[in-house]
Amino acid sequence: MQTTIVGYPRLGAQRELKKYTEQYFRGEITQAELLQSAAKLREAQWLLQKQKGLAISPVNDFSFYDNLLDMAFLLKVIPARYQELGLSALDTYFAMARGYQDSSGSAGQNVRALKMRKWFNTNYHYLVPEIEGGIGSEIQADKLWQECSAAEKLGLNYRPALIGPYTFLRLSLNKSAQSLDTLAAELAAAYGAILTGLARYSCEYVQLDEPALVLDLTADDSALFEQIYLPLLAQKRGQKILLQTYFGDIRDIYAKVSGLGFDALGLDLVEGGRGNLELLEKYGFPADKKLYAGLVNGKNIWLNDYQKSLAVLGRLDKLLPRERLVLSTSCSLLHVPYSVRYERKLAEKYKRRLAFAEEKLAELSALKMLAENPDPAILQRNQEIIWAGQNDPDFLNRQVREQARQAAAAEIARQPIFAARQPEQQKQLNLPWLPTTTIGSFPQTAEVRAWRKAYKQGQLTAAEYQERLKGKIKEVIARQEELGLDVLVHGEYERNDMVEYFGEHLQGFVFTENGWVQSYGTRGVKPPLIFGDVARPAAFTVEWIKYAQSLTARPVKGMLTGPITILNWSFPREDIPLAEIAYQIALAIQAEVLDLEKNGIKIIQIDEAALREKLPLRRADWQRDYLAWAVKAFRLTHYLVKPETQIHTHMCYSELADISATLKALDADVLTVEAARSDWTLLAALADYDKYIGPGIYDVHSPRVPAVEELAGILEKMCAQLAADQLWVNPDCGLKTRAEAETTASLRNLVAAAVLVREKISLPFSPKQVK
């Protein structure tokens, strides 16, 4: 039995690649220096993989920015606007990734980046290729050839990995006049050229990643897949092809794929475990192929449960001989941090339950060893560690468990319904129609960040730090009053991150020092780990909000992060269902909501920026596997408030049409959403929204200050499409990353626009009940 992985992280264990690349962006190092540093980093990783016992290493899993972008570049799917810049190959690549602005400011040299989208159900983002013309058969694969040569020089047993043509096509934007049939034929020819080029190398296999096969596939989709692959497989030049899938099972195409001329099939036996095993057992595994069995989880950070993995191997043993089996990861290890080795502050009882990328390499070797020669002592030790936390008071909270289970069984609905509580809220708040507000954060200046750093390093006492932040709150309240905003915020100066701040104040969360995971390009995130039962030892937002409210007669919003967003941006434990974790977090947030209310806060916003992110990849699973409990968890946070307390929620994406029923079911009184960034295309999807709604009227991702007339025009358009007395007026999202001056100017215009439209359209001053 051999061992391999689907892919490895590439930012570097100490985020070296991030540093080099950003140095290159700032012009501090040359292109040659960047390329050389990256090559060294890759080599070191290959050697590490070998040293940890991996039989075959993937190459070309490395990327300077993103693998789909790499593929677009290799296939010369490069929109004219980038080619026209006349840059070097690498700079053209980076222009596609990040956009391009000529510092000399000459017109026509200002080009936007490719669109970015979330990679399936992960927190990684890919760049969306734009097919403008056709796809020629001429390729520019220097990066691929160089990586193969380098691996060969090291005497490595390697396998080039590429995103496959079907997934490439499915995730690209077709702006050309070409039909899918034509593009399919062109892609087959272009990938054929890659195979021809690879024939010069000694690698036995080529890996083509086709994660799009785990999506819902229609008969047309399967036909398209075949249309690309039949001619491509006919062009094989001696090398073998591994069709690699991940993030789920391939129920819609397994039977077809088994009959095609692939030499190996890679299946995710973790996330797609149940489904893929059932398929294997139902249809059998073809005798002419190898199976790359994804047994080590590439998406989560817990120790492999060897007993479970061996049980799966036992089932596979009935289907194929071990010579045709390769032990692998469920997906690329891109989605986990580098190594537990770098965690110096984490207590041993946490550390020993973790397996990051490097530890997963060792796990593959251990699994192979155990499969060949089961060692009861190792198995027992593995079980002991995995279950050791069961009664540790840092992990176990019986009361929370019980409450979460009760919530799971109960009907959770706020009373009375919106139509009845809305007049109570209006009586208490006395807001004009088209009320103006912001999403929560105000610019986090260098000064604020420096205070936080000084506080964390012990150079500022807690009292000093708080005093300074209170100073900022005082400033921002005065500024909002001066601007004439109707509903104020405290600015979120105490938060570095909307999830981290909450995790830090809740039991059950653990933070790493170096657990970085690539989010996109050179950006990493450090998700908290949910180790144990979640509980809130004490209120942690109330003092800030109470202070802000004490400074003004206008309502200040309590500002909380919702349970689903906290869950989705963390590494969740796996010993209880996700729904139960969500209910536990929801109960903690509920306690905070009720404390805010008790302290006189009349409006509470519970952000669910990431609600949509973990929607199951298959529509049939949306409700049962996710939305049903996600909605319930959100309702659990607020259903006990008084009728006159107004609940807001906020979301930062515009694809709302397919979850419009869910939005209603959340039962928040006011929903603010990103809309400007997507040119208000979502307004149609909101037509039947039944409560207050604030589609953003300007994009917060740009420093541009929108003019009053422009904003008023947008508002009027919104008033025409939705009920005018249903609307709130706000930006797309928080203002944390903006500069102070442009923020003040934009908000001044936002308020002026609302005033203008209020005067223009005469409605009763007090909003009537919305639908």
- Where along the sequence are the contacts to ligand GLN (CB under 6 A)? 439-441, 492, 498, 559, 607, 609, 650, 652, 733-734, 736
682 is an interface residue for Zn ion by CB under 5 A: no
673 is an interface residue for Zn ion by CB under 5 A: no
The answer to the question of whether 115 is labelled as a binding residue is: no
Binding footprint of Zn ion, residue count (CB under 5 A) = 3
Q: Which of the choices Zn ion, ligand GLN, none does residue 557 contact, using the CB cut-off of 5 to 8 A by kind?
A: none
Cβ closest to ligand GLN, residue 545 vs residue 609: 609
Q: Are 5 and 55 in contact (CB under 8 A)?
A: no
Q: Are 295 and 311 in contact (CB under 8 A)?
A: no
Q: 342 is written with which tokens? A: 């770098």
Cβ closest to ligand GLN, residue 163 vs residue 652: 652
Cβ closest to Zn ion, residue 597 vs residue 607: 607
Q: Which of the choices ligand GLN, Zn ion, none does residue 440 contact, using the CB cut-off of 5 to 8 A by kind?
A: ligand GLN
Question: Binding to Zn ion (CB under 5 A): which residues in 560-599?
Answer: none
CB of 448 to Zn ion, least distance (A): 19
Q: Which residues of 385-419 are buried (b: 16+ CB within 10 A; e: fewer)?
A: ebeebeeeeebebeebeebbeebbeeebebeeebe
652 is an interface residue for Zn ion by CB under 5 A: yes
From CA 660, how far away is CA 613, in angstroms rounded?
15
> Which one of the listed residues 490, 505, 638, 701 is annotated catalytic?
701
Question: Binding to Zn ion (CB under 5 A): which residues in 710-749?
Answer: 733
Cβ closest to Zn ion, residue 159 vs residue 736: 736
Counting Cα atoms < 13 Å in the Cβ hemisphere of 231 gives 18
| Residue with nearest beta carbon to ligand GLN | 734
- Region binding Zn ion by CB under 5 A among candidate stretches 145-153, 443-451, 650-658, 735-743: 650-658
Residue bearing tokens 């734009």 = 130
Closest by CA position to 713, among listed 671, 749, 762 = 749
Cβ closest to ligand GLN, residue 359 vs residue 608: 608
Cβ closest to Zn ion, residue 216 vs residue 679: 679
The answer to the question of whether 118 is labelled as a binding residue is: yes
CB of 498 to ligand GLN, least distance (A): 5
The answer to the question of whether 133 is labelled as a binding residue is: no
Residue 715's alpha-carbon distances to 212, 438, 660, 698, in angstroms, are 39, 15, 22, 10
DSSP code per residue over 678-734? GTTTTGGGGTT--SEEEE-SS-TTS-----HHHHHHHHHHHHHHS-GGGB-B--SS-
**569: three-class secondary structure by DSSP:** coil
CB of 652 to ligand GLN, least distance (A): 4
Cβ closest to ligand GLN, residue 602 vs residue 650: 650
Question: Binding to Zn ion (CB under 5 A): which residues in 598-617?
Answer: 609
Q: Are 613 and 123 in contact (CB under 8 A)?
A: yes
Cβ closest to ligand GLN, residue 227 vs residue 441: 441
First-to-last CA distance in the chain? 64
The answer to the question of whether 440 is labelled as a binding residue is: yes
CB of 476 to ligand GLN, least distance (A): 12
Q: Is 125 in the active site?
A: no
CB of 568 to Zn ion, least distance (A): 14
Residue 319's alpha-carbon distances to 314, 514, 562, in angstroms, are 9, 41, 45
Using CB atoms within 10 Å of the CB of residue 430, give its burial: 0 to 12 exposed, 13 to 18 middle, 19+ buried.
exposed
Q: 13 is written with which tokens? A: 């264990």
E strands in 491-631: 507-510, 517-520, 523-525, 529-535, 557-561, 603-607
CB of 48 to ligand GLN, least distance (A): 36
Q: Which of the choices Zn ion, ligand GLN, none does residue 441 contact, using the CB cut-off of 5 to 8 A by kind?
A: ligand GLN
CB of 85 to ligand GLN, least distance (A): 32
Indicate the pairing of strand 173-174 with strand 2-3.
unpaired
Q: Which of the choices ligand GLN, Zn ion, none does residue 448 contact, using the CB cut-off of 5 to 8 A by kind?
A: none
The answer to the question of whether 439 is labelled as a binding residue is: yes
The answer to the question of whether 16 is labelled as a binding residue is: yes
Cβ closest to ligand GLN, residue 294 vs residue 440: 440
The answer to the question of whether 569 is labelled as a binding residue is: yes
Q: Which of the choices ligand GLN, Zn ion, none does residue 368 contact, using the CB cut-off of 5 to 8 A by kind?
A: none
Q: Please enumerate in sequence order all residues whose Cβ is within 8 A of that of 739, keeping only pairs 6 or more positions apart, or say none.
A: 443, 703
Note every long-range contact of 381-385, with CB atoms under 8 Å and residues 24 or more positions apart, other chains counting: 382/303, 382/304, 382/305, 382/306, 382/307, 383/305, 383/307, 385/303, 385/352, 385/353
E strands in 555-680: 557-561, 603-607, 646-651, 670-673
530 is an interface residue for Zn ion by CB under 5 A: no
Q: 514 is written with which tokens? A: 């170096």
The answer to the question of whether 18 is labelled as a binding residue is: yes
From CA 47, how far away is CA 151, in angstroms rounded?
10
CB of 542 to ligand GLN, least distance (A): 16
CB of 561 to ligand GLN, least distance (A): 8
C-beta neighbour count of 291 within 10 angstroms:
21
Q: Which of the choices Zn ion, ligand GLN, none does residue 736 contact, using the CB cut-off of 5 to 8 A by kind?
A: ligand GLN
Cβ closest to Zn ion, residue 346 vs residue 609: 609
Cβ closest to Zn ion, residue 328 vs residue 649: 649
Q: Which of the choices ligand GLN, Zn ion, none does residue 612 contact, using the CB cut-off of 5 to 8 A by kind?
A: none
The answer to the question of whether 674 is labelled as a binding residue is: yes
71 is an interface residue for Zn ion by CB under 5 A: no
Q: Which of the choices ligand GLN, Zn ion, none does residue 581 contact, using the CB cut-off of 5 to 8 A by kind?
A: none
The answer to the question of whether 652 is labelled as a binding residue is: yes
The answer to the question of whether 733 is labelled as a binding residue is: yes
**650: three-class secondary structure by DSSP:** strand
Using CB atoms within 10 Å of the CB of residue 206, give its burial: 0 to 12 exposed, 13 to 18 middle, 19+ buried.
buried
The answer to the question of whether 492 is labelled as a binding residue is: yes
158-163 β-sheet, strand order: 2-3, 325-329, 290-296, 264-268, 240-244, 205-209, 158-163, 57-59
The answer to the question of whether 15 is labelled as a binding residue is: yes
499 is an interface residue for Zn ion by CB under 5 A: no
CB of 525 to ligand GLN, least distance (A): 13
Residue 277's alpha-carbon distances to 21, 250, 298, 331, 370, in angstroms, are 42, 10, 18, 16, 21
From CA 636, how far away is CA 411, in angstroms rounded?
10
Q: Which of the choices Zn ion, ligand GLN, none does residue 597 contact, using the CB cut-off of 5 to 8 A by kind?
A: none
From CA 404, how far away is CA 523, in angstroms rounded?
35
Give 207's strand partners.
161, 242
Indicate the pairing of strand 57-59 with strand 692-695.
unpaired
CB of 699 to ligand GLN, least distance (A): 13
Chain contacts with Zn ion (rule: CB under 5 A)? 609, 652, 733
Q: Residues annotated in the binding site for L-homocysteine, as ranges? A: 439-441, 492, 607
Q: Which residues fall in the annotated binding site?
A: 15-18, 118, 123, 439-441, 492, 569, 607, 613, 650, 652, 674, 733
- Catalytic amino acids? 701
- Summarize the annotated binding site for 5-methyltetrahydropteroyltri-L-glutamate as residue ranges: 15-18, 118, 123, 569, 613
Residue ranges for the known binding site for Zn(2+) are: 650, 652, 674, 733
